[in-house]
């Protein structure tokens, strides 16, 4: 294994761990030697991911926006792998469809709560436990850069993640690096209905002429956590096949 991508002895805290992208991140980091702390709402799926990885893995089923669940994950992680976390990747997210005019307070709050407030809470709790040289990779989205029709709440939450990523990079450097990934359309359960409704139009605007695979996002997350990205912080990397190109 190339030493830059060897995560042996490092610990990853990952939310949204049973999602399309989360599973691939868990598998890749595990394959690269990392200890993994998994969090997701879906207890049955979480147990199946934990069982597949088998060793160097613990799991907390619960709401990743809840302080108690976050504290439980940190406690279990340090009891199993020792004090200190190296990588934090908050990948939990939701993407409901609703125009701004149709979005009631409850839905607006729910999206903000999971996509933004939960990230703030997770990072605030875990940063004091992170080892020197550690890295955070937040999940933004192409929607956070260019907006998204009928997903204004989601786009607003992801735009805020970009701003949070940059702000945090100022605050936690040089000890830690903080970056974001901005996926385009990646084949996971999250975008099934979007692909069914607008797939052909999106593909015609995508130079690579296909959707992304979750593993193609996981590998960028691993790059951003690795020493290969040692001079990168406060950056957002687009992973979208060219659907959106920003200067």
Ligand X SMILES: NC(=O)c1ccc[n+]([C@@H]2O[C@H](COP(=O)([O-])OP(=O)(O)OC[C@H]3O[C@@H](n4cnc5c(N)ncnc54)[C@H](O)[C@@H]3O)[C@@H](O)[C@H]2O)c1
Identified catalytic residue from 95, 120, 154, 211: 154
Q: Which residue is nearest to ligand X (CB)?
A: 19
216 binds ligand X (CB under 6 A): no
Chain positions 41 to 60 lying near ligand X, rule: CB under 6 A, are 41-42
Taking CB under 6 A as the rule, which mask of x and - marks residues 174-213 in contact with ligand X? ---------x-xx-xxxx----------------------
C-alpha–C-alpha distance, residues 214 and 156, integer Å: 23
**Residue 172 in tokens:** 């936690």
Binds ligand X by CB under 6 A, chosen from 18, 32, 126, 206: 18
Q: What is the dihedral of CA 110, 135, 3, 78, to 10 degrees?
A: -80
139 binds ligand X (CB under 6 A): yes
16 binds ligand X (CB under 6 A): yes
C-alpha–C-alpha distance, residues 4 and 168, integer Å: 24
Please confirm whether the linkage preceding 174 is cis (ω < 30° from 0). Answer: yes
Instruction: Give the nearest distance from C-beta 84 to ligand X in angstroms.
Output: 23
Number of residues counted as binding ligand X (CB under 6 A) = 30
221 binds ligand X (CB under 6 A): no
Instruction: Give the nearest distance from C-beta 182 to ligand X in angstroms.
Output: 7
Backbone angles phi, psi at 91, to 5 degrees: -100, -5
Q: Considering beta carbons, is residue 98 or 131 the nearer one to ligand X?
A: 98
- If you ran DSSP here, which 8-state letter would residue 228 be given? G
User: Which residue stretches of the chain are H helix?
Assistant: 20-31, 43-53, 67-81, 105-112, 118-126, 142-146, 152-172, 192-204, 214-225
241 binds ligand X (CB under 6 A): no
Contact 80, 60 (CB under 8 A): no
Active site residues: 154
Binding residues vs ligand X (CB under 6 A)? 15-16, 18-22, 39-42, 63-65, 91-95, 114, 118, 139, 141, 183, 185-186, 188-191
């Amino acid at each position: 294994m190339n030493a830059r991508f060897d995560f042996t002895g490092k610990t990853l805290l990952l939310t949204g761990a049973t999602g399309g992208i989360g599973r691939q991140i868990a598998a890749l980091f595990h394959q690269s030697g990392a200890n993994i702390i998994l969090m997701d709402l879906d207890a049955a799926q979480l147990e199946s991911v934990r069982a597949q990885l088998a060793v160097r893995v613990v799991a907390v089923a619960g709401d990743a926006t809840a302080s108690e669940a976050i504290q439980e994950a940190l406690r279990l992680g340090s009891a199993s792998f020792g004090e200190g976390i190296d990588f934090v990747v908050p990948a939990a997210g939701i993407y409901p469809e609703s125009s701004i005019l149709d979005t009631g307070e409850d839905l607006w709050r729910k999206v903000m709560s999971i996509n933004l407030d939960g990230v703030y809470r997770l990072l605030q709790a875990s940063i004091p436990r992170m080892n020197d040289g550690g890295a955070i990779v937040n999940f933004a989205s192409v929607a956070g850069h260019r907006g998204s029709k009928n997903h204004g709440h989601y786009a607003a939450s992801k735009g805020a993640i970009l701003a949070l990523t940059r702000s945090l990079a100022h605050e936690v450097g040089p000890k830690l690096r903080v970056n974001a990934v901005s996926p385009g359309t990646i084949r996971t359960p999250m975008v099934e209905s979007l692909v069914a409704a607008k797939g052909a139009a999106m593909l015609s605007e995508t130079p690579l002429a296909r959707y992304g695979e979750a593993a193609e996002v996981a590998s960028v997350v691993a790059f951003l956590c690795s020493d290969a990205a040692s001079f990168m912080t406060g950056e957002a990397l687009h992973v979208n096949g060219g659907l959106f190109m920003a200067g």
